[in-house]
Each structure stands twice: as C-alpha cells, then as structure tokens.
Structure 1
C-alpha cells in the first residue's frame, strides 16, 4: 500500500493555467512584449523565478526578476480572489477517499507559497493537507525532483511508496526523478502536455480510486 499521496496544484487542484497564461501575457504586454499561448505552454510546471529569468534573458527586459514577479503576483492574486471558481471536479472526493484510507497528503507546487495559500483559502482546503511545499523553497524547481523529495521527507514517507498527481510534463519528470509513481491528469487547459511517462493517465480525477493506486504501485 502507498505511504503518501502528493498533489501538484495548478491544473490539478485548481484549473488555473488559463489564469496564469492570461496574467503572464498581460505582464509582458505591460512591459512592451508579447508571447503566444504555445510558447507559454512550454513553461508549465516551472517556478516563477526560473520562468521569468528565462523570459527576461530572451526579451532583454531591463526589470529585475523580483520586480516582475511582484507586479505579476499582485495581479494574479487579485484575479484569483475575484474569480468564480471551484476545485477541479473530483478533487474533494479524492481527498476524502485518501483521508478515509488513512493516506497522508501533501501539495508540492511550483507556485509561490502565497499563491498556494490563497488557493487553499479560496476553496476552504487549508486543513486537508499535512504539508505544503513550494518549489521556490527548495534548491531546484521541477523538472528536478527536489520539491517532491522534500514533500516525502516531511511526510516521513519512502519516495518509492508515494503517488503523485500531475498534469504537466515538467511535473511528471520531477516525480519520476524522485523515484515516485505518477498519475497524469489530462487537463486540456494546461496545453499540449506530454504525459507519456506517467504510470497511469486519467481524463477525469473522479476516476481515481484507492484500488487504482495499488495498480499504479505495481508498475
């Protein structure tokens, strides 16, 4: 039996990639640049500092990464608070099933902690996870395994006995690099993501049950 279940957040708990795409385009336009949806899809799962460091170099932006992120997060959290949103269908039921099975739960997200906490508060999920880890709190972000290894460490779980739920190529790579099993969730709003390395791929989170987790562990 698995020892712990670790959730990505964006595109898994909250259907937030459209929000991220829109705000990131808005930020770049504010500074006088433009970017396509297809280009942004390639960065899904990366941390803010990594993402903006790359774009700053590519576009020759004069602003510091810190300045860009401060402006971006102000807009993003405002949009989140005003949005009429609920968790992705099946998330509340999956959390309840894991809880009933006595399986510890954590979030390991590339988003800044302030955004993670804003999402959990909006959905009333603050008490549903044993630990929350942001990729910005570990040495390397996804696709490196650091954030997932840190989550397993906090949970006191063997990484090889952990199952991760991810919607992005970078996230699946991180989970596999950590030696964990991974379920890939096909979220059309997360763009064209290669989920082929996942142990199990689902189109609906409501289809994930404890019996499925045992099957994932066997792979």
Structure 2
C-alpha cells in the first residue's frame, strides 16, 4: 500500500506505549484495603482508561461504611497516586518493547506528528522514566483536562497542541472507552490489545508495528 500523506498520531499511554496496569492495580488494591475493600481483578478491569476520580467511585461501590466526604475521597486518591508513583519510579527504558521503540522511530522518520493523549496525570513522569519524552511532539494528559475518556477532551486537546483538525488525526487506544473517545472526537480509531475486538474501532491491530502499514 502506497502511503499517501504524513499522518498525525495520538497515542494512549498505558497499555499502548507502556504497560503500567499492574502498578495501577497494586496501588488501588493497597489503598482499597485501608477502607476494608478487597479489590479483585474483575473490578480492576473496569478502571482501565477511566479517570482517577471515576475509578475511586467504581471501587467505592463495594464500600460498606458511612458515606465518605469529598475531602476523604481526595485523600484516598492522593494515597493511591503516591503508591503508584513509587512503583513508576522503578521503571526504566527496558519497560518499553523494541517493537514500540522501532515503530515510533520510523513514524518520526516519515515526518509524521506524534502526540500522547492520556488521562493519566503521571504521563510525563512515565515518559521520562522510560526515555521517551523526546519521541513525541506534544503531550496531552490528565493535567490538561477535566473529563476522562470516553469524553473526547484529551484527544481534542492533543489535536489542538499539534495544530491539527481532529478529523485529520488517528487515535490509538487499548481501552473501549478510548475508542469511544476517539470517535466522539471525530477521529479515526485504532484498537490494540483489548480494544482490537471492539467493533467501533476503524482499524484493529495485533502489534504496535502494524501501524506502519496504515
């Protein structure tokens, strides 16, 4: 297939570029235990691609105590984030696959624009730890937005940072909520990982380097 033009890519971070799900799970699980909740993997799967505040509300569906104040909820979210950041600090460039590194390099050599569109407020820390900060032209993350996916805000913000119209961008996400966010932003959506089986994805890929054929 002949490539017709340069492309504008917006990538989710967790589950696409790096895999920090295990760190999220460990941090949420440890936090949940402090309020008497044993977080299982089934519930944890519902947290993927969801904002920190919404994730906490999902976990609190199992809470049996008195209703929590917003102040207490904020404290719990801060506790989780501190635990998560402790895990992230152990990350190195070895936590990024050669497939991802090579593909990003080829896309840049082609002259494509690359951005991150992640709900995570720790996106910059993660990219710094794995040595990929300079691999992307722009970073839109949880510090730039008020609404998590499936709201399109983070993808729209990434397109704005790239100075590109949303319909000229292609979003890559592993979560169903991310694919929904991309479609809500009027972008083409590529499903990878779990979302490769989501019917709303315009393209479905098995590995990151499959992007080179699109």
**TM-score range with shorter-chain normalisation?**
0.7 to 0.9
Tell whether 2:129 aligns with 1:122.
yes
Kindly provide the CA deviation profile for residues 104-162 of structure 1, in whole angstroms up to 9, marking residues without a partner as x: 111111111xx212211111111111111114522321001111011101101111111
C-alpha distance in 2 between matches for 1:179 and 1:2: 19
CA shift at 1:48, angstroms? 0.7
Secondary structure at the residue paired with 2:181? helix
How does the TM-score come out when normalised to structure 1? 0.85
C-alpha distance in 2 between matches for 1:195 and 1:108: 19
C-alpha distance in 1 between matches for 2:48 and 2:25: 9
Kindly provide the CA deviation profile for residues 20-71 of structure 1, in whole angstroms up to 9, marking residues without a partner as x: 1122111101222112211111221011122214434652563623211211
Please list every run of at least 4 consecutive aligned residues from structure 1 whose deviation after the TM superposition is greater than 4 angstroms: none
Contact 2:9 2:170 in 1 (8 A): yes
Name which structure has the greater RCO, CA cutoff 8 Å, separation 6+. 1
Contact 2:179 2:201 in 1 (8 A): yes
CA shift at 1:74, angstroms? 1.3
Partner of 1:40: 44
Secondary structure at the residue paired with 1:39? helix
Partner of 1:204: 207
Contact 1:2 1:162 in 2 (8 A): no
* 1:179-194 map, 5 Å: 179-186=186-193
Cα RMSD of the aligned pairs, angstroms, is: 2.1
Contact 1:6 1:165 in 2 (8 A): yes
* 1:92-131 map, 5 Å: 92-112=101-121, 115-131=122-138
How does the TM-score come out when normalised to structure 2? 0.87
Structure 1 residues 201, 77: CA separation in 2 closer, same or farther (over 3 Å shift)? same
C-alpha distance in 2 between matches for 1:183 and 1:176: 10
Q: How many residues align?
A: 205
